[in-house]
Amino acid sequence: MSDTPDSAVRTYTEQHRTAFLDDLAAWLRIPSVSAQPVHDGDVRRSAEWLSAKLGETGFPVTEIWETPGAPAVFAHWPSDDPDAPTVLVYGHHDVQPAAREDGWDTEPFEPVIRDGRMYGRGAADDKGQVFFHTLGVRAHLATTGRTAPAVNLKLLIEGEEESGSPNFRALVEERADRLAADAVIVSDTGMWDESTPTVCTGMRGLAECEIELYGPEQDIHSGSFGGAVPNPATAVARLVAALHDADGRVAIPGFYDGVAELTDTERALFAELPFDEATWLRTAKSRAASGETGYSTLERVWARPTAEVNGIGGGYQGAGSKTIIPSSALVKISFRLVAGQEPDRIQQVVRAWAEAQVPAGVGHRITFSPATRPCLTPLDHPALQAVARAMGRAFGRKILFTREGGSGPAADLQDVLGAPVLFLGISVPSDGWHAPNEKVELDLLFKGVETTAHLWGELAAALR
Q: Which amino acid is at 423?
A: F
Which of 3.30.70.600, 3.20.20.80, 3.90.1150.10, 3.40.630.10 is the CATH number of 5-203+375-462?
3.40.630.10
Contacting residues for 79 by C-beta, under 8 A, at least 6 apart? 148, 149, 150, 151, 152, 153, 460
pLDDT over 90 at 200, yes or no:
yes
What is the pLDDT at residue 1? 33
Mean pLDDT calculated for residue range 203-222: 96
Q: Which amino acid is at 455?
A: L
Tell me, what's the pLDDT at 3?
Answer: 45
Per-residue pLDDT, averaged over 250-262, amounts to: 97
Percent share of the chain, pLDDT over 70: 99
Mean pLDDT of 214-237: 97
DSSP line for 329-398: EEEEEEEEE-TT--HHHHHHHHHHHHHHHPPTT-EEEEEEPPPB--EE--TT-HHHHHHHHHHHHHHTS-
Task: Enter the DSSP assignment of 435.
Answer: S
| Backbone torsions φ then ψ of 351, nearest 5 degrees | -65, -45
Residue 4 has pLDDT above 70, yes or no: no
Contacts of 14 (CB under 8 A, 6+ apart): 446
Strand partners, 158: 92
Whole-number pLDDT of residue 2 = 38
pTM: 0.91
8-state DSSP, 429: G
Preceding omega of 126 cis (within 30 degrees of 0) = yes
Tens digits of residue pLDDT in 201-212: 999 999 999 999
pLDDT of 409 = 84
- Smallest CA-to-CA distance from 327 within 427, 219, 244, 171 is with 219
For helices 5-15 and 17-28, angle between their N-to-C axes, nearest 10 degrees: 60
Q: What is the pLDDT of residue 68?
A: 98
CATH topology agreement for domains 5-203+375-462 and 205-259+305-368? no
d(CA 21, CA 127) in angstroms, rounded, equals: 12
The answer to whether the Cα torsion of 424, 426, 431, 437 is positive or negative is: negative
Q: Indicate whether 424 pLDDT > 60.
A: yes
pLDDT for 235:
97
Centre a 10 Å sphere on the Cβ of residue 272 and count the other Cβ atoms it contains. Answer: 11
Alpha-carbon 288 to chain mean position = 26
Give how far Cα 384 sits from Cα of 272, 376, 391, 420, 458, Å. 18, 11, 11, 9, 10
Angle between helices 40-57 and 127-144 (to 10 degrees): 10
**pLDDT mean across residues, the chain:** 96
Query: How does residue 464 score in pLDDT terms, banded at 50, 70 and 90?
Result: confident
430 pLDDT more than 80: yes
Q: CA 321, CA 327: separation in Å to the nearest integer?
A: 16
CATH among 3.40.50.2300, 3.40.50.300, 3.40.50.720, 3.30.70.360 for 205-259+305-368: 3.30.70.360
CA distance readout (Å), 455 to 55, 220, 410: 21, 67, 19
Banded model confidence at residue 112, pLDDT cuts 50, 70, 90? very high
Taking the C-alpha atoms of residue 431 and residue 440, their distance in angstroms, rounded to an integer, is 6
**What SS3 state is found at 33?**
strand
d(CA 281, CA 118): 28
CB atoms near residue 461 (< 10 Å)? 13
In 3D space, the residue among 188, 191, 189 whose CA is nearest the CA of residue 401 turns out to be 191
Q: What is the pLDDT of residues 283-327, one digit of tens each?
A: 899 999 999 999 999 999 999 999 999 999 999 999 999 999 999
CA 275 and chain centroid, separation: 21
Q: What percent of the chain has pLDDT over 90?
A: 95
Task: Delimit the domains of the chain by residue range.
Answer: 5-203+375-462, 205-259+305-368
204 SS3 class: coil
What are 116-145's pLDDT values in tens digits? 999 999 999 999 999 999 999 999 999 999
